[in-house]
Amino acid sequence: MKYIIEHTENKIYDWCCIEYKHISKLVGRNNLIFTNINNKNDFVKLKNIGEVKKESILKLNFKNICLLDPSCEKELNPEDCEKFDYFLFGGILGDYPPRERTANYFKNLKAKRRNLTKEQMPTDVAVLAVKLISEGNKIENLKFKDKPVINIKKGRFNEEIILPYRYIMLYDKLIISKELIKYLKSKKDL
């Protein structure tokens, strides 16, 4: 099983690169394909963490794809995972509240569609959810944490960042990239 990330933004932002590296650690670089990477610098950033293609998935000839789309009615289940060779995720900067950009962007793609609940997840979390489901876990048995709070100490003050997305908990621990936490804590403009 391979995981395809269709990058839909003009460039790869730092936080996005951190997410993509986390995905590579979760599923392995040999199981990860990035598509729609037009910028040469972005291509170089990604080539060591997965296969990189300049073309959009809409122009490539992949077969037997499942598009993960929060607006789809049918949830992904373990039996579905056996039917697909590729799982496609839109590397779309999330909106809050969501605007169904995944459905609109991929409207002409011939692929089966499934959701991972109606809640919006970061791309790395969505990939982890699919991996866990493909290992036989039903989505209703996965433990989620909505809008987790990240505590940040700035000088004498304690501040919080509320992440407006759904994350997975494993063994009562929030699964989030340590590099992302470090990045968020280093940002001066948050």
Q: Is the pLDDT of residue 183 over 60?
A: yes
Fold of 2-139: Alpha/beta knot (3.40.1280)
pLDDT (0 to 100) of residue 119: 87
What is the pTM (predicted TM-score) of this model? Answer: 0.91
pLDDT (0 to 100) of residue 106: 82
Q: Is the pLDDT of residue 172 over 90?
A: yes
Q: Name the pLDDT band for 179 (thresholds 50, 70, 90).
A: very high
Q: Percentage of the chain surpassing pLDDT 90?
A: 71
Mean pLDDT for the chain?
Answer: 90
CA–CA dist 90, 110 (Å, integer): 15
Query: Can you tell me the mean pLDDT for 28-37?
Result: 97
CA–CA dist 125, 68 (Å, integer): 12
pLDDT (0 to 100) of residue 189: 64
Crossing angle of helices 178-186 and 14-27, in 10° steps, is 170
Q: What is each CA distance from 105 to 58, 147, 174, in whole angstroms?
A: 10, 25, 30
Determine the residue type at 28: G
Instruction: Tell me the domain boundaries of the chain.
Output: 2-139
pLDDT (0 to 100) of residue 38: 92
